[in-house]
Structure 1
Amino acid sequence: MAIELSTPGIGELGDVVATLRDWQREDVPLQLHPGDLGWFWRFGEDRTAAATRVWRREGQIVAIGLLDEPDWLRTAILPDAQRDEELAQRIVEDVSSILVDGKVYVETPMGALVQELLFKDGWNADAPWIPLRRDLSEPVPDPGMRVDVIGAEEAHERTSVQRASFDGSTFTDERWFAMSDGLPYADARCLVLRNKLGESVAAATVWSAGDGRPGYIEPLGVHRLHRGRGYGTAMVLACARALQELGSSSIYTCTPATNVGAVATYQAAGMQALDEIRAQYRDA
């Protein structure tokens, strides 16, 4: 059963998004989420399609990759095929043709066979990231602050907080509209938290994968002029409540292990740190 690698056309992205949704389960290691594709969609559907890779066996999608950067490939694998030797070997063989020359990175689900084959092929473990998760089967406390769901008229507030939260951010109003037009955004919400003066001080986007499936925060930021006042914790609670309303079974996110402040913020909002995850890299 030959496995074929392809770059999907724009018309095929719907199948990719639907497949990613189906693969999100509580009993499966964290992997590429439809929200990752949705956040990338801010660059437009043409660029999103060009950055996507699909592995198929007899027409069935068995693995999906997203080139977050030319040197960084993030993947998801059919849950029942994560120890499939033929598929793992094919992904390892294809990595070199997908990524640019030089130092490159690959993210695969922890415990997938492809990781073992990459190590055998000379790849190394990258710096650790910490996943954090909160079950949404129980009520989530009110954040105690005003939080608005952002639509087209308030898009400029969402983008301005993003740029004020992350150095080098290029999230413009135009990119918000491109993202919100994307297929994954049908199951997403953009949120803005306001202080007592009504100022936008924190923002986030949450992505549902459907009823009973894990939901995802990507990204969340607090305005650099308003940090240290509990807005981050309140924003996380607001995200959890939004995903609960969308039917998500849990909420999760990932942050570098070195970002101890972010880890503490998520934990203060009731999220629990899980075992660290690591991408793999190959030197030039």
Structure 2
Amino acid sequence: MRTIQLAVPPVAELPDIGAVLDRWQSDDGPLHLHIGDLGWYSLRGGDATAQALRVWRCGDSIRAIGLLDGQDLLRLSVDPDFSHDDSLARQIESDIDSSNSAVFGTGAAIVEARGATRLCDRLKARGWGADEAWTPLSRDLSLPVEEPGIRVEVAGPDDAEAWTAVHWSAFRGVPYTTDARERFVSRWHAMMSGPFSSRAQCLLGYDSSGVPIAVTTVWSAGPNRPGLLEPLAVHRDHQGHGYGKAIAIAAAKSLQQLGSSSASVCAESSNKGAVAAYSSAGYTPRTQVRDLRRDS
């Protein structure tokens, strides 16, 4: 019987790992780790992305892929054919929750493992508890998608400063200094020239006067598979005017043109405004999910 081994992949393997994640995406399955999550993380560069990955293999076959999104959060996807496999779950459990963990240090930790049924059962039995609730949402793209009602363009290299400025305003809410702008624009270019860039479209939405007010990036997992919105943002000075709904509709239309079967996104359930905006844009909320937490 072959053993399951954990490794940190070299950067050259990133495209192959992304292709495996693509095959694991399904409209009937959970909203788990997606190539878009790796793509957004690749703002940090290919080497850093590879170093943040943990890959479980049995022989030449990949059984699970995890992204360390910070020191204490592992975002994990398991091959759907092995979601109930106890030997795989036991090995991953050992690698993340033993005294000599190959994933986490000591102290608090969070595992996002949607669809990894057996692993979640084992972690709960070891005392891992439920973390905050998240709401997955998806929009079926087999039907026509309406116009968003604002002008939306695919952002190119010359739009990096405008795109990043909107995102910065929405998520940071502090002045976008020259140093911050140079760093973020450089990282944006790294993402859009990186190993997952062929799957991405950055969208930039404008108000009626031509001011950039909303952004998103959509990620394709290939034809007839769910695509992902990651991230989506509305400039802090322009929130509350329906631009979140508009850019979410534009994202669905873009993914439809790329051949995706659905457009997916996940929002914190406590963020009622985000859930409402996606819902108003035709995204259907699915059953809430919770990550698993180990307290310190």
Contact 1:91 1:114 in 2 (8 A): yes
Equivalent of 1:117 in 118, 122, 144? 122
Q: Using the alignment, how far apart are the partners of 2:197 and 2:272 within structure 1? A: 30
Residue identity opposite 2:4 in structure 1: I
Tell whether 2:190 aligns with 1:190: no
Kindly state the Cα deviation for residue 183 of structure 1 after the two structures are TM-superposed: 2.0
Kindly state the Cα deviation for residue 41 of structure 1 after the two structures are TM-superposed: 0.2
Q: Using the alignment, how far apart are the partners of 1:191 and 1:263 within structure 2? A: 20
Q: Using the alignment, how far apart are the partners of 1:279 and 1:186 within structure 2? A: 30
SS at match of 1:114: helix
**Deviation digits for residues 123-170 of structure 1 (CA, Å, limit 9, x no counterpart):** 001010000111000000001110010011111111111101102797
Contact 2:80 2:115 in 1 (8 A): no
Residue identity opposite 1:189 in structure 2: Q
SS at match of 2:69: strand
Q: Using the alignment, how far apart are the partners of 1:211 and 1:126 within structure 2? A: 33
Contact 1:74 1:107 in 2 (8 A): yes
Kindly state the Cα deviation for residue 111 of structure 1 after the two structures are TM-superposed: 5.7
**Deviation digits for residues 72-121 of structure 1 (CA, Å, limit 9, x no counterpart):** 00011111000010001111100132012211100102461100000011
Equivalent of 2:233 in 207, 221, 232? 221
Tell whether 2:22 aligns with 1:26: no
Q: Using the alignment, how far apart are the partners of 2:173 and 2:41 within structure 1? A: 16
Tell whether 2:88 aligns with 1:83: no
Residue identity opposite 1:10 in structure 2: V
- Residue 102 of structure 2: aligned partner: 97
Task: Give the gaps of 5 or more residues in structure 1.
Answer: none
- In the alignment of these two chains, the number of paired residues is 284
SS at match of 1:132: strand
Tell whether 2:271 aligns with 1:259: yes
Contact 1:187 1:246 in 2 (8 A): no
- Residue 112 of structure 2: aligned partner: 107
**Deviation digits for residues 206-245 of structure 1 (CA, Å, limit 9, x no counterpart):** 0010000000000001000001111111000000000000
Contact 1:206 1:243 in 2 (8 A): yes
Q: Using the alignment, how far apart are the partners of 1:87 and 1:134 within structure 2? A: 32
**Deviation digits for residues 156-194 of structure 1 (CA, Å, limit 9, x no counterpart):** 111111101102797710010111112222011000100
Alignment of 1:156-195 (within 5 A): 156-167=161-172, 172-195=184-207
SS at match of 2:114: coil
Contact 2:72 2:108 in 1 (8 A): yes
Kindly state the Cα deviation for residue 13 of structure 1 after the two structures are TM-superposed: 1.1
Residue identity opposite 2:127 in structure 1: G
Tell whether 2:143 aligns with 1:131: no
- After TM superposition, the runs of 4+ consecutive aligned structure 1 residues lying more than 4 A away are 168-171
